[in-house]
Amino acid sequence: MAGKSREKEMPPAAMRGRASGRSAVAPWGPTEIQRDYRTLLDWAKDKPQEVLDSDGELLVIQGKSVADFQRRLREQMAEAGRFLAVFNEHRDVAPARWAMQTAYPWLAAFSGEEVAEFARELVAYAFDAAQRGTLEQFEGNLRAWESTAGIYAQPDVMQTLNAPVDAAGLMEIFPPSEGQVQAAQA
């Protein structure tokens, strides 16, 4: 039982087999592709397929969305890695002095503790993105931090946000009624 065949692990569409009769785990050869290209393309939708080119180079055929995600993830991880290297080297220095060396220069607006929190979140969201197969939350987290840095960089906005609120001056505002909307449109 220990020698389970990889052919049995292939998706149901792949069970048809290759016209050449070769194993599902063997790389596709040039002549085999010519005879059975439809099976190769069908299998590539489920799992990347290895193709042995006539010059001996091993190539991979896979879905574009998977390839795009992997490329973007690799780029984001490279930027994150460079950031972490700079951050670890300058942990005890104010972020404003070293943030320009990273892909996240807007970190200069934050304190050292906030940048440490950003670093922890960056690693967590990176692992999450790799596991889920989507960069949506990772990139959303970066946008949120950058947006917050933009607010921090505007002293007048920060002063307004931090100003005391006079509760007596607050009043509740209700959305317009359907009749008010219709009257305004007339």
**Chain segment 128-171, per-residue pLDDT in tens:** 999 999 999 999 999 999 999 998 888 887 777 778 888 888 88
Are 33 and 81 within one domain? no
| Widest pairwise Cα distance in the chain | 82
CA distance 182 to 168: 33
50 with 126, same domain: the answer is no
Which structural domain, as residue segments, surrounds residue 32?
9-62
State residue 121's pLDDT score: 95
Is residue 186 in some structural domain? no
Q: Identify the sign of the CA torsion 75, 79, 82, 87.
A: negative
Please tell me the pTM assigned to this model. 0.64
Q: Which amino acid does the sequence have at 179? A: G
Are both 54 and 70 inside the same structural domain? no
In angstroms, the Cα distances linking 37 to 42, 63, 118 are 9, 15, 47
Q: Are residues 139 and 80 part of one domain? A: yes
Residue 101 lies in a domain: yes
User: Across residues 82-95, what is the average pLDDT?
Assistant: 95
- Total of domains in the chain: 2
Same domain, 43 and 95: no
Boundary (domain end) residue, out of 26, 42, 62 = 62
Q: How many CA atoms lie within 13 A of 113 on its CB side?
A: 0
> For residues 144, 149, 152 and 154, what is the CA-based torsion angle, rounded to 10 degrees?
-110
Per the domain annotation, does 167 fall within a domain?
Answer: no
Q: Is residue 4 part of a domain?
A: no
Pairwise pLDDT comparison (94 vs 34), residue with the higher score: 94
- Determine, yes or no, domain membership for 161: no
